[in-house]
Amino acid sequence: MGSLIACQDIWKIYRLGDVDVQALRGVSLEIAQGEFVAVMGASGSGKTTLMNILGCLDQPSRGHYWLNGRDIGRLNQNELAEIRNREIGFVFQSFNLIPRTSALENVQLPLFYRGEPLRVQRAQAAASLARVGLTGRERHYPAQLSGGQQQRVAIARALVASPSILLADEPTGNLDTESSREIMAVLERLNQQDRITIVLVTHEAEIAAYAARELVVKDGQLVSDRRTTSTHA
């Protein structure tokens, strides 16, 4: 497969009591290296289920998912954990920062889990914070940072291990309008200048407008896949 991400006829079925709930129904899509894609849909549409499968946090009930040419369905739990640690950066609505840990130490965490030397951890974490405009804030704790700055720390943490793809699930959901614009400008710059592949889940059209491609999920199916002209380019 030539694409960074390729899904073929992905189904996800959950068993709730005596009822089968079809969260995804036959989703097929491809995403190339360097794309910025927004995934939109109402609550319960299946967009978060799709994001979890793309992030190797969950596996489809049937169908195939290839990431960087690897058939994810053939991997065991340890291999999936390795993929998540090395290939995928995650950014969530809640920043998931450790409160009593500095910005630098929060960003170091993925490298700590990889067993990198402390000197490497610190150097790469500082460089990653610089990429999101937080030079000089390395020693600040989350409580000393604004919501937008905390989310930038979370983005720096997601980037520090040089992943193939950045998955952002409602990254502006807890932010005010101005902070949301700042975060989206950071993501847009990372995509355009550094060619980082970004898949963004959002229910806000204004946020989706930063992406160059928009996928719409409804009732577990991909109902729209269109190229957009970013109004922020």
- pLDDT truncated to tens, each residue of the chain (233 aa)? 468 999 999 999 999 899 999 999 999 999 999 999 999 998 889 999 999 999 999 999 999 999 999 999 899 999 999 899 889 999 998 899 999 999 999 999 999 988 999 999 999 999 999 999 999 999 999 999 999 999 999 999 999 999 989 999 999 999 999 999 999 999 999 999 989 999 999 989 999 999 999 999 999 999 999 998 755 54
Q: Which of 151, 157, 164, 166 is nearest to 51 (CA)?
A: 166
Please report whether residue 194 resides in a domain. yes
Please report whether residue 28 resides in a domain. no
Please report whether residue 129 resides in a domain. yes
Please report whether residue 19 resides in a domain. no
Please report whether residue 8 resides in a domain. no
Name the domain count of the chain.
1
Please report whether residue 14 resides in a domain. no
pTM: 0.91
Structural Rg of the chain based on CA atoms: 18
CATH number for position 166: 3.40.50.300
Please report whether residue 22 resides in a domain. no
Please report whether residue 156 resides in a domain. yes
CB contact at 8 A, 151 and 166 = no
What local confidence, expressed as pLDDT, does residue 1 receive? 41
State the Cα–Cα distance between residues 81 and 35, nearest whole angstrom. Answer: 24
Domain that holds residue 191: 34-60+83-227
State the Cα–Cα distance between residues 85 and 110, nearest whole angstrom. Answer: 7
